[in-house]
Structure formats: C-alpha cells, structure tokens
Structure 1
C-alpha cells in the first residue's frame, strides 16, 4: 500500500452538492479521530468495514486511501451525502471502492469494523445499535464519533443496550469516540407507530426521522390551515415529507387528490411509507427519496406543502429552505401554490417572493407563520 498524506488527501474533499457555509466543512475533527482510533482494526480487517452516516465521504474514502480498506459497505441517511461521497470518490480516483446499502442485514453481514458519526437523536442511535448488534459479526467493534458538546451519557446507555463493553476514548480537538464491543441479542423496535386521535391519523417513525412519532407544532400549524390550500388541486407534493404527516392528512381529507411525499432522508422515506400504510392510503400516496423534488417533472403539480428544516446537522442554514423553495417553484404549474410554515422570526417571506412568486400570509403567531406563494 502506497503511503498517502492524510492532510493532502482530505484537502481534495468537498461538500458539493450539499449546502455550504463558513462553518460547514467536508471533513471535521470527528472524521479524523474515528479513523485514527479504528486504525488497528481497519488494518486487521480491511475487507469487513462498514461506514454509517458518513457526511460527505471522509470516513469511507479515508478508510480506503489511508488504511487499505476494500469493498467498504456504506449507508448514508441523506441523499446529498451519497452524492457528495460519489463526487469525492471520483475526484480522488476511488470510484468503485465502496457499495451502498440500506440500513439492514445485508449492510452488516460479517462486519468486523463499523464507523459511525453520532446521530442527533438517541432514537436514531438506538436503531443503529440494534441493526449493528443483530447483523454484524460477533467480534465486531463499533466506533461512534461526535463533537463532545453534542454527546451525552445517554449515548453510552443506548450503546449498552446492544453491547456488553462500552467505553469512551480521550477527547481530541473537541471530539470523542465511543467504542462498543460484545453485541447482545436484540430485536428491532422500529418503526415505532403512534395513533393521534385528535388528528385522525397514525404516525410511524424510524429512529432518525425528525420529531419521531410526534407531530411538531409547525406541522400542526400548517395542518390547521390546509383546508384553504388550493381546494380544487388534483396533484400535491409534501416537500421534505418527514414521517408523511402532511401527505397523509391531505390524502385523507381529499379523496380525489393524488399526493407524492418526497424527502432526501432514507429514514424519513421509510417512516413515511410506514405512515402511509398504517393509514390505509398506499393507493393514493407515493413516497420518493430525492433532493428537493428533483425527480418530479417541471410544472406538474397544483399544490406543494412544506415545513422546511433550518439546520444542516447542528448548524443553522437558510440554504436548506431555499433549495426546497426552488424545487417547489420548478414543479408547480403556473398559478399553483406553495403553502409553507416556518418560525416567525425567519426571513423566509422575501425568499419565497423572490424564488416562487407573490406570497401572502395565511396565519401568524409569535412562533409560526404560514404563507401561500403563487407560482407566476
């Protein structure tokens, strides 16, 4: 194996096509620490490596280029992460060195080394732990890395649900790695489903889905306004659908409406599919994994509903919402409308006017604003 300078290698990586900002990077201290802590295991088991939620490819490509891993199996929740990994692999001459998988048994079968970026929620970590403990080799070592300020003792407890030996490494550059060995027999508890009698629907969620089985206050604000949203619409899109609450509510209230839910998160798509099935609407709601409705035809939709995110990981970024607004503008027919809910302090109305068209306020309170934007 030819020695590769880590700094020079990582300098080639980019976030493209993900959002960019001064505080967002393609490679961070956690990526570097994970690879260093797992170096001995990577060298010992180069053909049995799995990477989970690699943001933009640093872990996957670093394991190959710096530690000789081969045939790395990868699962990334976000589609833009997959696209960034593919672009970085091409940029560094590593196309074909990894394979993509769902979060399932095929991903983990025979795995001896698993590298994972710590997810934002304990439920997401719990599902990760269950899949690894149930599917990997009994001698597997799971490395979970994150920024110290975002890691809690609760993460150790969740890891201990699936592993007999859990310990933390020393911190470096404000990052730390949790190491777990000795998988326990575990059963998957996902998706979790909850009935919301007040809304007349059941919500199902995988671990990494935003809000889980809850219906967040922003979504509730938009749900309350939806009866007035393009009443004669024949087609609708739930853009960034999450667990599918808006898509299911629209389809349930309007028997003649055809609805598509789209989200770039694999966990969200799996959750929305389960929510649609739980509410008996599989014949009228289709769920697609894509980025900002990129797979849908131009000028093909009467109504788009959206509760846009405002975080990229833990960083606040308006660019995520703007990308969704641009996607809505592209798929809406002239005269079609985007109904959007967002935190009242955010300056989204100007962006909606600029990107989509004339925008009116539907409802507003100190926390949430609902607007309707007409495609010109």
Structure 2
C-alpha cells in the first residue's frame, strides 16, 4: 500500500469526522526538514511528539531507517504501530522513552511542540545534553498553540534559533548549536502533607488540581481486602493518598501518559509508599482482567491531544465497568457542567451523588 498522510488513522484513539490524524504542522515540518533528513544518515533521525505516526512514517517512506521515536500518550504509540503495519513500514523505527538513548548522537530532531513549557524544557535539555553537536531541531506546531515563551525556552539550550514563515496556520522553529544540556528532573511541591512530583507535561504539574482535591476530600474508607485503582492517575496523588490513608493496602495507578507514569512513580517514592503503589502505563484499563476490581477512582480528562471531545469519558466509564466486579464502585469527579451522571448510569450502574460544589460533582457508581 502506497504511503499517504491522508490515509493515516487515529485508532485506537478516539475517531470522529472532526478529529484528524495529521495536520498542516506535520506537513510543514516535513517540508522544512527534508534536506536535513536526507543527510542525517542511519540512526541520525529522532521524532518526538508525533501524534499518530505522520512524521515518522513520512520520513520512513522517504527512505529513513532506524528512526527513534518518543510519543507521550500510549495511544499515539499504538496508532503509529497500526499505521506502520498498514503501510509495510514496521521495521523502520523504534519507540523509546524520553531518555538518553532516544537522542544520543541525533543529528536531526523533528518535534511537535508540546503545549507545556515544562515539557519543552525537559525535551530541549535532553537533546542539548546528548545529541550530536551539529544537531538541528525542527520544532513545529499550530500557530494558535505557539507562544513567544517557547522561543525563550529553546534559546536556553540552543545558541541559534530561526523562525520559518507561517503556512496553513502552522510554523516551525529551527534550533541549532546546543549548549548547557541537562537531563529532566521532576519538580516537587508539598500540598496537604503530600509531596507531589511532576515531570514536564504531566497534568497540573506539581500542584493538586481542584477536581482531584475535591475528590480526595470525599473518598471513602476502604476495606482491608480492597485493591484500589487510580484510573488516569496523572501524578499519582490519589494513589499516594490512598496508600498513606490505608497502610495495609496495595494501590494500582495507571495512565497512558509516559510523563504521568514517571511522575506518579516519583510521587509515590517521595511519600514513602513506592513499594505499595504499582504504576503502569496503560491505554484505558486494558491490562486489567474483567470483573476483578472492587474500587476505582477517576478524574477523567476531556481532551484528545489538543481537541476537546465528549466521547473520551464515556469510553473510560465503560472500561471501568468492565474491570469492576458486581457491587464494585467507581468514584468519579467531574465538572458539573458536563452532566456525566446519565452516562455513568448507563455504563456502570446506579449512581449517587456524594458531593457537589460550585464547579465539581463527585459521584459513586455501583456496578450492576
């Protein structure tokens, strides 16, 4: 099958007519980097933040091999793998963590700019520390999501920064001459007796967002034989709080974000409960067997990448229902304006309101 950007799919992420797998920023990045990629050589090309494989597979279709790739969401990794299978390009790349091995000796980096400046700071420092001295970083995004602060972050690690002309509402920053590199380290802050650790890009950073804080205020005491699941755990605050409140329990935390998983592990360790909090990277709760859990806590996201989409939370409710045993409970906090209660009733079972304030609602849904 001939490769085509237009034929890429988002699956297993949410798919809808208004959600695309690639955009103008991908095309501009590929065009601006074409000459540099041709001279990068084997193992010289690194792709960071590729949404669903457009950058990686376009480079592979142009003859690139041994491409190293990092995508923060696990759904992105799986979409890349599925798209590669369709186009016969499965042996052209390897997916790696955001680590030294990802960028060591890299000569060209294609980067979709993250929304978080802290995430960009982590990436820029890592590249500057371990890539080749002549590395060229092509960092692109949609103009509406780009800020001048991104230029400043890149200038902290690169002596030369050029800005391309905009095209299709997209722009590329080109960084050269790396200096003063540094490996990512999590930021730390203490809130209500919990040390929160966060790598760049983790939701809410080293704070506790107000929805999670409201959920924490109302979580119930748990029986000694419960194995709680912190679903979409972010920095692991709920998992850590449950482990601290229940010294005899082991807690599972899962999130599809690599930055969130690393942050949750660091948070659990910082609070002395690392041995009782198991943190895994998972797409939804796919690694968990049907009908095995008795308690799940969830603060569902409502973004798929940069797009707001109402279909994300119902999918999470359905997967939580699959994992819960009959009589098990899903405790959810949600923005009251989203009116999730009917969806929880349909997916899980009878749902009662536990608490409500001006902005958030906490509910408990019992698996029917």
TM-score category (smaller protein): over 0.9
Structure 2 partner of 1:34: 29
**1:339 equivalent in alignment to 2:331:** yes
Structure 1 partner of 2:71: 76
> For 1:53 and 1:372, how far apart are their aligned partners in 2?
36
TM-score calculated relative to the size of structure 2:
0.97
Structure 2 partner of 1:17: 12
**1:153 equivalent in alignment to 2:148:** yes
Of the three residues 57, 64, 68, the one matched with 1:61 is 57
RMSD: 1.4
The offset of 1:232, in angstroms, is 5.6
> For 1:189 and 1:143, how far apart are their aligned partners in 2?
20
Of the three residues 214, 219, 224, the one matched with 2:217 is 224
TM-score calculated relative to the size of structure 1:
0.95
> For 1:318 and 1:237, how far apart are their aligned partners in 2?
23
Structure 2 partner of 1:204: 197
Structure 2 partner of 1:350: 342
> For 2:221 and 2:327, how far apart are their aligned partners in 1?
12
After superposition, where does 1:159-174 map in structure 2 within 5 Å? 159-174=154-169
The offset of 1:230, in angstroms, is 4.8
1:229–1:339: 8 Å Cα contact kept in structure 2?
A: no
> For 1:73 and 1:80, how far apart are their aligned partners in 2?
17
The offset of 1:189, in angstroms, is 4.8
1:233–1:302: 8 Å Cα contact kept in structure 2?
A: no
- How many residues get paired? 367
After superposition, where does 1:170-189 map in structure 2 within 5 Å? 170-189=165-184
> For 1:332 and 1:232, how far apart are their aligned partners in 2?
17
**1:120 equivalent in alignment to 2:112:** no
4+ residue segments displaced more than 3 Å:
229-233
1:181 aligns to what SS in structure 2? strand
Structure 2 partner of 1:370: 362
The offset of 1:229, in angstroms, is 5.5
In structure 2, stretches of 5+ residues that fail to align are none
2:22 aligns to what SS in structure 1? coil
> For 1:233 and 1:123, how far apart are their aligned partners in 2?
39
> For 2:171 and 2:24, how far apart are their aligned partners in 1?
9
Structure 2 partner of 1:51: 47
1:337 aligns to what SS in structure 2? strand
**1:133 equivalent in alignment to 2:125:** no
1:30–1:176: 8 Å Cα contact kept in structure 2?
A: yes
- What are the Cα deviations for residues 241-275 of structure 1, in whole angstroms up to 9, with x where unaligned? 00000000011001222210000000100000000
> For 1:133 and 1:189, how far apart are their aligned partners in 2?
11
- What are the Cα deviations for residues 270-310 of structure 1, in whole angstroms up to 9, with x where unaligned? 00000010011022110010011111122211110011101
Of the three residues 223, 237, 247, the one matched with 2:229 is 237
> For 1:129 and 1:63, how far apart are their aligned partners in 2?
22
Of the three residues 271, 283, 289, the one matched with 2:281 is 289
2:25–2:141: 8 Å Cα contact kept in structure 1?
A: yes
